[in-house]
């Protein structure tokens, strides 16, 4: 059996690595994946996982990226990636594309509430992308 202090510190980094590599996860999914990744040797309890998630969130290392009913999906932040040393340009580009996709969805969901000026600004952004694809 591993020492309790290792579990708490190890859990912190394990959650960050999992969110960096596997994408957004719920607390329950984090527990399941830890158990699967340790071949059942370590099954962290909700009493250890959820306070750690809260601590990581309070530190700005992870954030809630989506809520479905009572389920919260957590994602790693840039600050979280720095902690685990994952700040490559590829990661930044990949994260930016994911964030852009999410923002586009949000804008489209609220399209009817946009002003003429806002729609014109979006059209200009669209034209920039269109021009890039044509070269």
**Mean pLDDT, rounded, for 25-52:** 90
Query: Do 74 and 19 reside in the same domain of the chain?
Result: yes
Indicate whether 75 and 126 sit together in one domain. no
Domain co-membership, 44 together with 8: yes
Residues 25 and 76 in one domain: yes
User: Which one of 47, 62, 83 terminates a domain?
Assistant: 83
Same domain for 29 and 64:
yes
pLDDT score at 87: 56
Q: Which residue has better confidence, 39 or 32?
A: 32
pLDDT at 30 exceeding the cut of 50: yes
108 and 74 housed in the same domain:
no
Q: Is the pLDDT of residue 112 over 70?
A: yes
Residue 17 sits in a domain whose CATH number is 1.10.10.10
Q: Are 14 and 56 in a shared domain?
A: yes
Question: Has this prediction a pTM greater than 0.75?
Answer: no
pLDDT, tens only, 42-84: 888 999 999 999 999 999 999 999 999 999 999 999 999 888 8
**Domain C-terminal end among 61, 83, 105:** 83
- Residues 43 and 109 placed together within one structural domain of the fold: no
Domains held by the chain: number = 2
Say yes or no: 31 and 52 in one domain: yes
In SS3 terms, 29-96 reads as HHHHHHHHHCCCCCCCCHHHHHHHHHHHHHCCCEEEEEEECCEEEEEECHHHHHHCCCCCHHHHHHHH
For residue 57 the two structure tokens come to 């969130």
| Residues 76, 98 within the same domain | no
∠ CA(125), CA(93), CA(12), 5° rounding?
A: 130
Q: Indicate whether 101 and 115 sit together in one domain.
A: yes
| Bridge partners, 76 (sequence order) | 62
Q: Can you give the residue range of the structural domain that contains 24?
A: 4-83
Please tell me which residue, 6 or 96, carries the higher pLDDT value: 96
Q: Are residues 14 and 35 in the same domain?
A: yes
């Amino acid at each position: 059996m591993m020492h309790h202090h290792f579990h708490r510190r190890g859990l912190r980094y394990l959650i960050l690595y999992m969110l960096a590599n596997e994408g957004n996860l719920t607390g329950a999914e984090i527990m399941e994946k830890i158990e699967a990744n340790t071949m059942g040797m370590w099954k962290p309890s909700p009493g250890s996982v959820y306070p750690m998630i809260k601590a990581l969130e309070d530190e700005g290392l992870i954030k809630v990226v989506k809520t479905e009913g009572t389920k919260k999906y957590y994602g790693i932040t840039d600050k979280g990636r720095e902690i685990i040393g994952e700040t490559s340009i590829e990661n930044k580009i990949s994260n930016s594309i994911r964030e852009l996709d999410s923002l586009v969805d949000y804008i489209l969901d609220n399209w009817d509430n946009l002003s003429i000026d806002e729609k014109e600004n979006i059209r200009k952004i669209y034209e920039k992308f269109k021009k890039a694809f044509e070269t």
